Amino acid sequence: MGVGLRRHRLRPGTSARGGHTIGAMTDSTRGIHHTAVLTSDLDGLVRTFTAFGFTLSPRSRHLLGARPGQAPVLGCTANRCALFGDSYIELLGIVDEHAPDPWHTREMAKEYEGFRMLNLETDDAEATARRLADAGLGTTGVLDLEREVDTEEGRRTVRARAVHLDPGSTPEGYVGVAQHRTRHYVHQPRHLTHRNGARGLGGVLLVADDAEFDAITRRYALILRTAARQEGPMAVFDAGAARLRVLRASDAGEVLPGEPAPAPSYFAAMTIVVDDLRGARRLVEDNGTATLSTREGFLVSARDAYGAGLLFAAA
């Protein structure tokens, strides 16, 4: 997971470890590691995504480090995940109001719940943190995460590292870069087959307040080290096998008619690629959720998916 931190602004070119970074490093920041839907009703969110045809991993509590180098502690969140072998959708729930909150998830939920987080993937979190700071982006430095999961060989510990951008500079939501340290415990083959035929995340669509559009697109160009291309009203970044699409708020009604706008800038939808669009749509509708046709497939409204628009497209 890549949950949040307090909305304070770090000085550009520094990290939460303090001080200036040393020389630029090369890292392999690339496609989507995971997206996250935040809720205070994890059981309800699980029922909804199960009805959409997703296979979900068992519930797992998070152990989170508050600062770089600090040992993780049991936090207030747990998750279940729709896993695809490379990326995944995290269903992230606040499950214990009295537990520590080292990544300040409760503060995030108080703003609003829904599609709140995007984590890109890296092979080297330390190098990524240095590169982002050298590019003038405030970060937390590298934080550690653990969680216990069931495997066919018994209980094992998932370990990951994450670098979060200063959320004061990311009005669309909480953005980070994450590194698997035990990928095989996350993407277990037994969890990768979905009734809706889902194969993976094809992209993320974010809506940018018109006044923030240029700054947001410049930031993702720095993070992904690639220029955007224009695709209709959207700026599009290729992120590995996925696409990150940035849409001006003034154009959102044409692309996402009638969809809620929880903030001036926000993560609006994620694209799920499936084997059989007709079969996936029939499953969703037979389980009681209306859909809307799109150019690439169909949309499940954020109103029906706990604040996360789901765009289904052919694999």
* Integer Cα distance of 93 and 291 in angstroms: 25
Q: CATH 3.10.180.10: does it fit domain 198-314?
A: yes
Q: Do domains 32-191 and 198-314 have the same CATH topology?
A: yes
- Over residues 93-146, the pLDDT tens digits come to 999 988 888 878 888 999 999 999 999 999 999 999 999 999 999 999 999 989
For residues 278 and 226, the answer to whether their CB atoms sit within 8 Å is no
pLDDT higher than 80, residue 13: no
Question: Distance between alpha carbon 210 and the CA centroid of its chain, in Å?
Answer: 23
pLDDT for the residue numbered 71? 84
Q: How far is CA 223 from the centre of its chain?
A: 15
In order of 135, 228, 234, 235, the CA distances from 207 in angstroms are 24, 15, 9, 11
Q: What is the mean pLDDT of the chain?
A: 90
pLDDT tens string 53-103: 999 999 999 888 778 887 888 889 999 999 999 999 999 999 998 888 887
Q: Per-residue pLDDT for 18 more than 60?
A: no
Higher-pLDDT residue of 132 and 27 is 132
Listed in sequence order, the residues at least 6 apart from 171 whose beta carbon sits closer than 8 Å to its beta carbon are 209, 212, 216, 263, 264, 265
Q: Which helix (H) or strand (E) holds 107?
A: helix 105-111
- Higher pLDDT among residues 17 and 257, named by residue: 257
**Residue partners of 310: CB distance under 8 A and separation at least 6:** 52, 269, 270, 272, 299, 300
Q: What count of other Cβ atoms lies within 10 Å of the Cβ of residue 227?
A: 10
In percent, the amount of the chain with pLDDT more than 70 equals 91
How would DSSP label each residue in 231-264? ETTEEEEEETTEEEEEEEGGGHHHHSTT----SS
Where in the chain are the domains? 32-191, 198-314
Q: In this model, does residue 307 exceed pLDDT 50?
A: yes
**β-strand 114-121 against 32-39: which pairing, if any?**
antiparallel
What tens digit of pLDDT does each residue of 139-194 get? 999 999 898 999 999 999 999 999 999 999 999 999 999 999 999 999 999 999 99
Q: Give the CATH superfamily of 32-191.
A: 2,3-Dihydroxybiphenyl 1,2-Dioxygenase, domain 1 (3.10.180.10)
